[in-house]
Structure 1
C-alpha cells in the first residue's frame, strides 16, 4: 500500500486507539465516542481505572488509592453522560490544638478570624503579580507572611497533598488547585456514591453504550506508523487506527532536575460496623506542629517521630458486618520498603492519634495491613508517588500533542495545570478535542 492510500475500513481496528484506561484515557474515549469516532481502549492491567478501584484482603474490600475529587468532576461526568451519583463531603484536619474543615465550618471561620492578620498578609501577597517570581515556592511565602504555627501548618496541607515539603511546593500549584477558571472545585470535594470503583464502572458502561471497545490485560509492547496509520503491537494482536492517544508520560520533555514527589504508604484497617466516623466528613487528618520541619525530614529520607496522616472510609456504615478504612501517610524519599522497626513506629504513632480522633475505632479493629510503596507497586503495577514529576516553578507542562511523534498524550505530565484527578479528566477532554480538530483538518469537514 503506497503512502497516502486509504486503509479499507475493515482493516481498521478503530478511528482512535487509546493506550491506558485510567481516568484521562476513559474520559477521552467517551468524549470521542460521543462525537462519532470509533474508539478502542487497550489496558495492560486486568481492570480499568488505574488508582481508582478496589482491592480485597480476604473478605474485606478496600479502596485502592484514589479517594475523593474536586466538585468539577461532577460537571464533566454529566457532560459525558456518565450515570453516577456524587455526594459532597468535607475534609477536616487537626492541626495541633486547632481543627480546620473545608468547606469552612463555624469553627474553621473562628480559627481563621483568630489569625486574620496572617490571612490578610497572605492574601495581599498572593494578589501581587510579583509574588510568584519573588517566592516561587509556598514555604518562603508562609515564612514571610504567617506567624501562627497552626495556621501555617493548615496551609501546608496543600504541600502534603502534593507529596512534598512547602519549600518544594510550587506556588503556582497552590493557585491552580483552587482556580475558578480551571473549575477543578477542590474547595468542595465530592465522592462517587459507591466509591471510585463505582465511577469507573459507570464510565466503562457508558463507553460500551456508545459503542466503544475496552480490552483489558493487553500490554502494548511497540508502536509504529505505516501509510499514515498508527499501529499498536500487543502479545494478542496488532491494532490499527488513524490516531493514537497514549497515557505514557512525556517525562523526556521535562528539565533534568525534575524528580517525583514523595510516595505514600498506607495502613488498611477493617473494623466492626459500629465504628463511628464524623458525619459529612470523608477525609479526617492529623497534622502535628511544624509541618515544614517534618515534611522536610521526609524529603531528606528520614522518618520523623511525628508526622501527618489522613484516614478515609472505604465502606459506609450498615452496608455489611464491618467497615474498612485506609490510613495514608508519606514515606521518606527513597524508602520503598521501610524496616520492621520503622513500620512498628508508624503503626504505633497512628493508633495513638486515632485513639483520640476516632475513639470507637481502635478497640474494634478486625484487621490491620501495612502497605509500603514497594508492596503496592508489586501488587498492582502502580506507583504511590503522588506526583510523577515535580518540575521547576517556571516550567509549564508539555502540550497534549507531540508533533515529533504525531501522538497524543493524556495524564498528569501533559495538558492543563495541576497534578490530580481533576487535571487528568480535563486532559482527557482536551485530547479528544485535539483529535477531533486534527481529523477535521484532514477531511476538510468542520470540527
Structure 2
C-alpha cells in the first residue's frame, strides 16, 4: 500500500524528497505557506533589483545533480552551473589577500606567494588530510540515515576519524598543520556555517573547508541561487507532484497506526499515508503542527546557531575587479568569536560580501547588486534591544565605505536581521537552525523519523545531516528512501 505523501514545506529538503517520490511513481502533494517554492533559499524583488535572500554558497554540485538523476534527468538541461574562479577572495586586515582556487597547484602557488614556500608545503599536506577526512566522514556519517543509534556505531570510521584528528577542536587541528594565521583563518571560518567558533567546533567540520576550498564553489548560470528551488519544483511537477502554494498546514493527524492526514488552514483535509515535515522543526512543535507523540527528546533544550545581519544593495554603478565572494577578515579574530559565543555583537566582525556579477538578470544594464553578511547573536542568546539592529547597520555601512565599496547609505536596499528571520518563521531568529555541537550532530540531532508516529518523517536543516545546501538535499533523499522502503 503506498497512498499519498504530503510534503510540508517547499524548501530544498522538501523539494528533494518530492522529486524522488514523484519520480518513483508515488502520489505527492507539497503544501507551502508562501506563494512560491524555495523556503530559506528565497528571492526578493526591490525596484529593478533582484536579490537572493538565502544561501549564496553552493558546493558539491554532484549532490544536486543526483536529485535530477533520480528523476532520469540531466541537471545541465535544467540548471546549468558555473564554477567560480576564485571560490573566495580572502582579504585580511593587514592589506594582504588570498584567492581560494580549487586546483591544488594553483592554490599552492597562491599560498607560496602570500605565506611562503614552507607554508605552501604544509598546505599541500593539509589538503591531503582534508581529503582523507572527507572520504571517511561523508559516506559513514553525512550521506547516511541516522534514525537509529546503530547507524552511529561504525567503529572503523570512528577510529579513522579519531586518528585524523576529527575529534580535536577545529582550531587546534588546523594549527597543528598550518602556521600562517591567514591560512588558518581560511580553513576555520567555515565553522560558522555550523554555528560554532573554531575553538568549539570539532575537527570533523574541517570537511566543510574541503567542500569549498577543494571541491569548489558554484553558481547557477541564470537566475541566481533561486534558480535551484525553481528548477527542483518544476522537475517535481513534471514528474507528477501537485503543489499547494499560499496555504499553511496546521495539523498532522495520526492514530495508533501512524499518520493519516494533514489538515490545512482552509479546513481542508488531505489524506496521507506518509508525511514529510520539511520546515522549522521547533516551530512546528510549538505551533501544534505535529502530534504530541512526535516530540523528540533531542529538542528539549535546543541550542541555536548565531544569526546574521544581511544588507542587500542595488547599485547604479558597477564594481570592476571584485570577486563573486569576498571575505573581509576583522583584526580581532578571537575576540569576535568570544563575543558571539556570549550572545553579544562582534566587536570586529568578519563579513562576507557577495557580488554576483554573472547574474546579469539581477540588475539593469550598467547596475549591479551587492549582498553583505555579518554574523550576529540570535534572539535566544542575544540582546533583544530593538535598537541593536540600527546600530549594527550603521556600523556595517561605515565598514563597507572603509573597504572601498563607497557610500552605500543612499542606495536602494533590503535588510534582513534576526527579527526578520523570526517573522519568517525561523526559531530564535536564525536562518541557520540548530548549531552542530557534538550533542546536536548525527544521531544526536533531531531524528529524521518520528519513533512513536509511524510514517512521519522530517527533512531540512533541523534534522541530520544538518545545515547547508548539500546536507539539506541529503535529508530529503533519506526521507524519500525511508518512504519508498516502507512496504507496510
Q: Shorter-normalised TM-score: what interval?
A: 0.7 to 0.9
Tell me what 2:240 maps to.
211
1:163–1:115 distance in 2 versus 1, CA, 3 Å:
same
1:335–1:91 distance in 2 versus 1, CA, 3 Å:
farther
Which of 89, 107, 110 does residue 108 from structure 1 map onto? 110
Between 1:85-94 and 1:118-127, the stretch displaced more is 118-127
Contact 1:19–1:25 (8 Å) recurs in 2: yes
Aligned residue for 1:45, secondary structure, equals: coil
Contact 1:95–1:153 (8 Å) recurs in 2: no
Instruction: Report the alpha carbon displacement of residue 369 of structure 1 after superposing the two structures with TM.
Output: 4.3
Alignment of 1:242 with 2:244, yes or no, is no
Instruction: Report the alpha carbon displacement of residue 147 of structure 1 after superposing the two structures with TM.
Output: 3.3
Tell me what 1:54 maps to.
43
Alignment of 1:69 with 2:58, yes or no, is yes
**Equivalent residue runs for 1:200-279 within 5 Å:** 200-226=229-255, 230-236=260-266, 237-248=268-279, 252-254=296-298, 258-278=302-322
1:186–1:262 distance in 2 versus 1, CA, 3 Å:
farther
Provide TM-score, normalisation by structure 2: 0.75
The superposition leaves residues 397-420 of structure 1 with CA deviations (integer Å, 9 ceiling, x where unpaired) of 3542223111111112323x3421
Contact 2:64–2:473 (8 Å) recurs in 1: no
Distance 2:53 2:453 in 1: 33
Instruction: Report the alpha carbon displacement of residue 41 of structure 1 after superposing the two structures with TM.
Output: 0.5
Alignment of 1:154 with 2:186, yes or no, is yes
Distance 1:241 1:325 in 2: 43
Distance 2:79 2:478 in 1: 22
Tell me what 1:323 maps to.
368
The superposition leaves residues 142-188 of structure 1 with CA deviations (integer Å, 9 ceiling, x where unpaired) of 45554322122212221233343112222222236637xxxx99721
Between 1:208-217 and 1:98-107, the stretch displaced more is 98-107
1:275–1:230 distance in 2 versus 1, CA, 3 Å:
same
Distance 1:165 1:19 in 2: 32
The superposition leaves residues 335-375 of structure 1 with CA deviations (integer Å, 9 ceiling, x where unpaired) of 4642533332222113212x0xx5xx658973244432213
Contact 2:254–2:261 (8 Å) recurs in 1: yes
Contact 1:150–1:289 (8 Å) recurs in 2: no
Aligned residue for 1:173, secondary structure, equals: helix
Instruction: Report the alpha carbon displacement of residue 47 of structure 1 after superposing the two structures with TM.
Output: 2.1
Aligned residue for 1:69, secondary structure, equals: coil
Distance 1:350 1:176 in 2: 27
Unaligned runs of 5+ in 1: 1-5, 443-447
Between 1:330-339 and 1:52-61, the stretch displaced more is 330-339
Which of 71, 82, 88 does residue 87 from structure 1 map onto? 82
Between 1:24-33 and 1:312-321, the stretch displaced more is 312-321
1:51–1:109 distance in 2 versus 1, CA, 3 Å:
same
1:141–1:376 distance in 2 versus 1, CA, 3 Å:
same
Aligned residue for 2:304, secondary structure, equals: coil
Tell me what 1:285 maps to.
327
Q: CA RMSD in A?
A: 3.2
Instruction: Report the alpha carbon displacement of residue 262 of structure 1 after superposing the two structures with TM.
Output: 0.8
Instruction: Report the alpha carbon displacement of residue 26 of structure 1 after superposing the two structures with TM.
Output: 0.6
Instruction: Report the alpha carbon displacement of residue 260 of structure 1 after superposing the two structures with TM.
Output: 0.9
Tell me what 1:199 maps to.
228
